[in-house]
Structure 1
Amino acid sequence: MDSNLELLTQIAHGIAVHFGYTCEVVIHDLKKNDLDRSVVYIENGHVSNRQLGDGPSEIVLETLKKQPDVLKDRLSYLTRTDDGRILKSSTMYIRGKNNTVDYILAINYDITGLLTVDNALKPLLSTSETNGEARKPRKITHSVNDLLDTLIEESVSLVGKPVALMSKEDKITAIQYLNDAGAFLITKSGDKVSNYFGISKFTLYSYMDANKEK
């Protein structure tokens, strides 16, 4: 274990103990180039039902897709587990030489119980005015296959119509979303996406190029 990872595991353990069993702390190793098994350390994995050796989250794919210089820590956003629990999450990028992101330290705190209390109090505290729009929590996945399925679902939701009713422009929009999210970093994702949208691999690449030109 290198010194940075050793320090991160010490910090992760401290955070987990401090906040208790509803606080999951995860370390993703981006130095290994093993996307299928990016989780190298986890505390309180029961929160998201993940374990050591599980695959990446959407944030990990976005990290690999973007240039390190433009990445900023993402603090206090919402995520969602398979069984519908809502987590308050933060993601911190741990950098190594040449400013590359070597590790990701993620904190996922289960606030489902707190939201239940909040929902009970909200009718008593609400006014006729509303401020802002609710943001849909991101789903936490366990493997690259689960993650790809989730990203495809999100791309369809973005377009707002089933694949059978999509025009060429609709499919280009969906595929651009997948490309921006880093979906095509996943092995054999091109085959699955092509089959899902009913297009050839050649057409898939042309749609990706069409968006670059735009």
Structure 2
Amino acid sequence: MQENHLDFYKRLGHAIALQFGSGCEVVIHDLKAKDPDHSIVWIENGHVTGRKLGDGPSHVVLEALHAGAGAKLEDRLSYLTKTASGKILKSSTVFIRDSEGEISGIFAINFDITMLRAVQGTIQWLCGVEPTAPKEPEPIVRNIADLLDDLLEQSVELVGTPVALMSKDDKVRAIRYLNDAGAFLITKSGPKVCKYFGISKYTLYSYLDEAKAESAHEAEE
């Protein structure tokens, strides 16, 4: 990320954190960092999610990394997220672009509305989210291991069949979801995925090839 961009967003983030108080976390992810497993380069009020400087990416960050250069990703504003401890947050994600128009970072705001939702009937206007936003809060994980665990669980929910009863096609579908979500950008994710689905490294590569072929075929249609 360009230094002048980082400096500006740090000052902006500090202002937002002071404006809304200790329940408002502001975090900057550097998508151009050499080590994507440690994408957080600045954070204020990290106690909201339990994260700190040097921690790893979120779901949105992985999606952006997987999309790659030139991706036309849109900012995500006023949607719900949830921490591992059960806090409900009102979040916004803004993509930072460099002079070439490529995404170089992410500026995210996570405002703790847990207590506000307890009295939501009287302050509905403050807690409301965009009509098009997902109704279920998205999880915010504290580290890479938790993120991969969460993605694995989501892949099983998508297929709708316990791992022990999955057919080959089920596992290909689950691994396709993991690939599309950027799970394989996580360091040493392969062995964990193999163990989780009870397959060999060779089989994983084979399933990945099938999943990518299916994606390419659908894109051509």
Asked whether the two chains share a fold, i.e. TM above 0.5, the reply is yes
Q: CA deviation at 1:85?
A: 0.8
**Given the superposition, is the C-alpha separation of residues 46 and 208 from structure 1 closer, same or farther in structure 2, using an over 3 Å criterion?**
same
Aligned pair 1:19/2:26, yes or no? no
Is contact 1:58–1:181 with CA below 8 Å preserved after alignment?
A: yes
- Residue 88 of structure 1 is matched in structure 2 by 90
Report matched runs for 1:43-192 at 5 Å. 43-67=44-68, 68-118=70-120, 135-192=135-192
Report matched runs for 1:190-209 at 5 Å. 190-209=190-209
Is contact 2:79–2:133 with CA below 8 Å preserved after alignment?
A: no
Q: CA deviation at 1:212?
A: 2.5
**Given the superposition, is the C-alpha separation of residues 168 and 113 from structure 1 closer, same or farther in structure 2, using an over 3 Å criterion?**
same
Letter in 2 for 1:171: K
Q: CA deviation at 1:19?
A: 1.3
Is contact 2:37–2:187 with CA below 8 Å preserved after alignment?
A: no
Residues in 2 aligned to 1:21 and 1:60: alpha-carbon distance in whole angstroms? 24
Residues in 2 aligned to 1:132 and 1:98: alpha-carbon distance in whole angstroms? 30
- Residue 34 of structure 1 is matched in structure 2 by 35
**For each residue in 1:84-131, what CA deviation from the matched residue of structure 2 results, as whole angstroms up to 9, or x when unmatched?**
111111111111132222211000011111211126999xxxxxxxx9
Partner SS for 2:47: helix
**For each residue in 1:13-32, what CA deviation from the matched residue of structure 2 results, as whole angstroms up to 9, or x when unmatched?**
01111111111100011222
| Identity in percent | 56
Residues in 2 aligned to 1:3 and 1:133: alpha-carbon distance in whole angstroms? 32
Letter in 1 for 2:56: G
Letter in 2 for 1:182: G
Q: CA deviation at 1:211?
A: 2.2
Is contact 1:69–1:99 with CA below 8 Å preserved after alignment?
A: no
Partner SS for 1:118: coil
Residues in 1 aligned to 2:213 and 2:33: alpha-carbon distance in whole angstroms? 33
Q: CA deviation at 1:134?
A: 6.3
Residues in 1 aligned to 2:21 and 2:122: alpha-carbon distance in whole angstroms? 24
Q: CA deviation at 1:77?
A: 1.4
Q: How many residues align?
A: 206
Residues in 2 aligned to 1:133 and 1:103: alpha-carbon distance in whole angstroms? 22
Is contact 2:80–2:134 with CA below 8 Å preserved after alignment?
A: no
Residues in 1 aligned to 2:121 and 2:134: alpha-carbon distance in whole angstroms? 14
TM-score, L = length of structure 2? 0.86
Residues in 1 aligned to 2:57 and 2:196: alpha-carbon distance in whole angstroms? 22
Q: Which runs of 5+ in 1 are unaligned?
A: 123-130
Letter in 2 for 1:75: L
Residues in 2 aligned to 1:82 and 1:120: alpha-carbon distance in whole angstroms? 27
**For each residue in 1:130-161, what CA deviation from the matched residue of structure 2 results, as whole angstroms up to 9, or x when unmatched?**
x9996321111122111111111111111222
Q: CA RMSD in A?
A: 2.1
